[in-house]
Amino acid sequence: MMKTKNKLWDLCLRLEQHLCPDYCGVVDRRRVIAFVLLTLVEMLIIPYHFLLFYMMEVWDGFFFNLAHTLVLALLIYVVLKRKVVFKTGISLLYILVFVKLAIDSMLCLHYQDGRDNLSVMSNIFIMFILAITAQSQQLNRTTLGFAVSLLPVVAVAISHTQISSLFFSIKAVLVGFLMILYVWLYNSESVMFKGLRQPKQMREEEKKALHMLADLKDEEKDMAVNLLSRLSPEQQQNILDRAAELLKTSELTKKAWDLVCADLTNSERVICQMVLEGKMLKEICIELNKSESNITSQRSHIRKKLNMDRKDDLRRELEKRFYEARNSLGE
């Protein structure tokens, strides 16, 4: 299970580097992961739908599924070849799946004459999930289009639903729209950060005092006491809490770094640190005053000691291992 998880994560990282070569933030990573998972789900669902429509002899649905498969394959090809901006590509993928679900719902209502409400409600539920997922990835126009398009789909579904069942199903629809609104508010900086009260946030004078205390030598304890005495008790406590927090973070970082680089020499550790800082080969050579062949050789030694594949991106692998080490130490 762990190996499968690691392989899937490595696939996401490599795909992320390919689809977002210049920059990849948190939102971009969400989009890459969603692209991978949605593609895998479609690869499982499409054969199932082919079999279902064939057994039921619903040829409209069969050929509709065939058309969907061709468009999906073309879209994935375009995204992987970077013919479109990745943000546009993932939006188009969401739209394609959303349209498929909407048409599938109409086919269910038409052929089953309102008897297959479970399939229709399941489709609507997935459509809401698509809208919420798109909003969580800040695809605002796509989400707005989904929210508007859901209204007629829900209206048609309700018109084919018995009154006794309607009171139970309408609750899920209302919650779906509320969740879209919630995620929109969650992503809105103007709403989430306006007027926040953060009592532990350091003021400018507190930051200066903390830096001055950090620069003092051991024999200058009287100056430290004098400096703290000029501040209010609240400010003193805030500085002490912040200093303790920074010390704990620093110690945790050092332990995580030692854990990741346990088998590396000091020279190799320095190179890893510079790689994590995003420095290129030439920059490392200049700063360390070493030849490119020397640095390349040491990087190869680092890969071997860390059991890394030649295709693995050294910086991303170090970031992943450092993050995992920090998490394991923090637990």
CB 156 within 8 A of CB 109: yes
161 pLDDT more than 50: yes
Rounded to whole angstroms, the Cα distance separating 143 from 120 reads: 20
Read off the pTM: 0.54
Average pLDDT, the chain: 75
Q: Give the range among 6-10, 54-58, 72-76 with minimum mean pLDDT.
A: 6-10
**Average pLDDT of 64-73?**
89
Q: Where in the chain is the domain with CATH 1.10.10?
A: 261-331
Rounded to whole angstroms, the Cα distance separating 205 from 215 reads: 15
Pick the closest to residue 20 from 90, 113, 70, 102 (CA basis): 90
CATH architecture of the domain with residue range 261-331: Orthogonal Bundle (1.10)
Rounded to whole angstroms, the Cα distance separating 193 from 32 reads: 27
pLDDT digits (tens, 9 = 90+) for 282-300: 888 888 888 888 888 888 8
Long-range CB pairs of 208-216 (<8 Å, 24+ gap) are 209/235, 209/239, 210/239, 210/242, 210/243, 213/239, 213/243
**Average pLDDT of 202-224?**
53
Q: b or e along 71-93 (b: 16 or more beta carbons within 10 Å of the residue's beta carbon)?
A: ebeebbeebeeeeeebbebbbbb
Greatest mean pLDDT range, 99-108, 233-242, 303-312: 99-108
Q: Give the range among 59-63, 120-124, 194-198 with minimum mean pLDDT.
A: 194-198
CB 79 within 8 A of CB 68: no
CB 39 within 8 A of CB 47: no
Instruction: Identify the pLDDT of residue 244.
Output: 58
Q: Look up residue 303 and give its two tokens.
A: 């890969």
Confidence bin at 124 (pLDDT 50/70/90)? confident
Instruction: Identify the pLDDT of residue 192.
Output: 53
